[in-house]
Amino acid sequence: MSELDNAIIDLQTKLSFQDGLLEDLNQVVTDQQQQIMRLESALDAVRVQVKTLQTDNTPGESKEPPPPHY
């Protein structure tokens, strides 16, 4: 083989390795995006629960302000 053939084989090997890395990175980004979407959904659910708890009155709780303390 000539030096040019070896250089071409070396470049093809590097390109193949980079293609594999790119596919791996793409999978990581896709997985992270799915995780972010799940976390955002969970956060929205928690926000709704907190808002509901803030607006709901527990039994026995009065809507009148507490009496002044002397």
Residue 63 confidence class, pLDDT cut points 50, 70, 90: low
Over residues 57-62, the mean pLDDT reads 58
Over residues 40-57, the mean pLDDT reads 92
Contact 57, 63 (CB under 8 A): yes
* Distance from C-alpha of 63 to C-alpha of 56, rounded to nearest angstrom: 11
Q: State the chain's maximal CA–CA distance in angstroms.
A: 100
Over residues 5-28, the mean pLDDT reads 97
Q: Is the pLDDT of residue 60 over 60?
A: no
DSSP classification of residue 56 = P
Q: Is the pLDDT of residue 8 over 60?
A: yes
